[in-house]
Amino acid sequence: MLRSVSSNWILNAIQIGVFMVLTPFTFSALGTEAFGIWEVIVSTAAPIQLLALGLPMATVRAVSSSINRDDPDAAGRAAGTAFSMTLILGLVAAAISAALYGGFSALLLTRDGWSGLSEATIRDARLAILIILGNASAGFALSLPYALFDAHQDFVARNLIKAAGLFVKLGVTVLALTWRADLAILAAVQIGVALLEFIIAMVVSNRRHPKVPVRPRAIRWREAKGLLSFSVFAFLMNMGATLAFQVDALVIGLNAEPAAAAVYGIGNKIFDPFINILLAIGMVLMPLAATAKSQGDTAGVRQAFLKWSKIAATLVLMIGGFLMVLGPAFLSAWIGEGYDEESGRLMQILMLSFFFFLPIRGVALPALMGLGKARAPGFGLLAMGLGNLVLSVILVGPYGLTGVALGTAIPNVLFAAVLAKIACRSMGISTRHWLGYTFGKPVVASMVAIGALYVAASVISISTFPELIMTGALYTGLFITLALTYAFAGDPHLDTSPVMSRIPFLSKRLR
């Protein structure tokens, strides 16, 4: 499992690198107003993703279970049925996209806060959302080859294709926006890269896993029922995640001018790659849990759940601690001219909730899904998303962007508390034991490292990018040292003492 997760983390590192370059470049090329419109366009198209009904996740589970039973025919039928269903759903999505386009044009482009837009900008926005809606409608089928890579636990090949797509996206976006900086061009790059990735992924998947080819098949009720019985809960999860993290810009767009969506987007943007780091664990843990369940290895799932919960919590504390102390300075140096200090405050509010939410989302949720216990994650994420939407709509009026951030943060914490208890009960361990093991020593180590970072930031002015990188490297080195020599020393599931004892200046301290 460590090899697969490491492969995912390497992809995350590439994603972060591309993200670090593209976001400020796109912000600078488009300008604050157009960048805010782009955030609203992406948010408007987000509901289309709900129509996938959780089929990619259900496909991973169905195919991986069939492969584990050594039944490639069943795996092929499940994959083919899923492909055909995604094509049908894509047609339905295209029809619904027409209504979303009409709503975007009628409710947003004619609002008072948007009345200052030029005719050229309005035409550009309309064309861009048409392209993005088309991309979202096709996205169900385009993502299916990756579900098959996940089911085969073939993460290295999958990640190589995704990494290549990221580099292509980086190069083409820079060239395209340098040539002509408008929203339609940016949207065209998204769908072009997605199509290229799909073609490559489909060819590679068929060659590496010929027994489970990527091709549509006649939909049979038996396979469809099996997929839908699980995917309905995955659908609820997707709906909850969409409402929680992808409609905030739309709420802001309906209540303020486009620039406000840009300010919130910059404060929220840093969490995209952060969440992916934790999802890299879940991508591997879910099929592993499904396989362990089919083999009756409940002890193995419990051990993986504990070990990776602690690793996830340690990562969140390390990255989150840096963002709480130096996050605003980082955003300022990263975005440059046009940065608004409110973005930094919004990021800190959101980060407080992610300390609780991310370890649960990254480990507990996929472990439950792999065990076939999808009801709690499905309804839990749906409740969280609905709570986010309702609170954001209520709070955006009196509290502005801070209200939207609180509308996201409060449901995050409540969801984490409830799902942690359910996951622990399902694993046969007490919540107190899980909390003590997962957070006990990592929190102590983080207090030392974050305290040192806070003191350094109070004494020394740290504002330029080189200063932030140097400080971040020193902080990370201190945190990792504390984690290896204290948080994981003597750990029953991941003991680092034998490795650390080989380092001369640490060997005496660890004896």
Q: First and final CA of the chain: distance in angstroms?
A: 30
Is there a contact between 438 and 444 (Cβ–Cβ < 8 Å)? no
pLDDT on residue 4: 62
Q: How far is CA 302 from CA 16, 99, 233, 370, 479, in A?
A: 31, 46, 23, 12, 27
Q: Is the whole model's pTM more than 0.85, yes or no?
A: no
pLDDT on residue 52: 58
pLDDT on residue 432: 93
Q: How far is CA 433 from CA 306, 311, 416, 420, 489, in A?
A: 10, 16, 16, 12, 18
**Residue ranges of the chain with per-residue pLDDT less than 70:** 1-5, 49-57, 61, 112-113, 115, 221-235, 283, 287, 290, 294, 499-511
Q: Which of 369, 359, 159 is nearest to 278 (CA)?
A: 359
Lookup: tokens for 195: 């199509």
pLDDT on residue 510: 47
Look up tokens 């590679």; give the residue: 204
Is there a contact between 165 and 9 (Cβ–Cβ < 8 Å)? no
